[in-house]
Structure 1
Amino acid sequence: MTSKSMRSFAGGLFVAAGICGAVYFFDTEETANTQTLEKLTVDEMKSKLTSEGYVIHTEKEYEEQLDELKSNQAVAEDKGPKEKIIYRSVLKVSKGMTSIDVGKNLKRSRIIADAKEFFDEVEKRGKANNLRPGSYVIDSEMTTEEIISKVFK
Structure 2
Amino acid sequence: MRINLLSSFAAGIFITTSICGAVYLLDKNEVSTASVKTNETQTNLNGQLSKNEMKNNSASAEVTKVVLNVTQGMTSIDVGNMLKQANMIPDAFTFSKDVEKRGLENNLRPGIFVVNSEMTYDHVISTIFKK
TM-score, normalization by structure 2: 0.51
Q: Report what 1:27 is aligned to.
A: none
1:67-99 Cα shifts (integer Å, max 9, x gaps): xxxxxxxxxxxxxx8622421110000110000
Please give the secondary structure, in 2, of the residue aligned with 1:111: coil
1:110 maps onto 2:90 in alignment: no
Q: Decide which of 118, 121, 124 is 1:144's aligned counterpart.
A: 121
1:93 maps onto 2:70 in alignment: yes
C-alpha distance in structure 2 between counterparts of 1:146 and 1:82, whole Å: 21
RMSD between superposed Cα atoms in Å: 1.6
C-alpha distance in structure 1 between counterparts of 2:75 and 2:123, whole Å: 18
Please give the secondary structure, in 2, of the residue aligned with 1:122: helix
- Inter-CA distance 131–82: structure 2 relative to 1 (3 Å threshold): closer
TM-score, normalization by structure 1: 0.44
Larger radius of gyration: 1
Q: Which structure 2 residue ranges, 5 or more long, are not aligned?
A: 1-57
Q: Which structure 1 residue ranges, 5 or more long, are not aligned?
A: 1-80
Within 5 Å, which residues of 2 pair with 1:46-61? Answer: none
Q: Report what 1:125 is aligned to.
A: 102
CA contact (8 A) 1:112 1:140 kept: no
Instruction: Kindly tell me the number of residue pairs found equivalent between the two proteins.
Output: 73
Task: Report which of the two has the higher share of helix.
Answer: 1
- Inter-CA distance 89–127: structure 2 relative to 1 (3 Å threshold): same
Percentage of matched positions with identical amino acids: 51
1:29-60 Cα shifts (integer Å, max 9, x gaps): xxxxxxxxxxxxxxxxxxxxxxxxxxxxxxxx
C-alpha distance in structure 2 between counterparts of 1:112 and 1:84, whole Å: 17
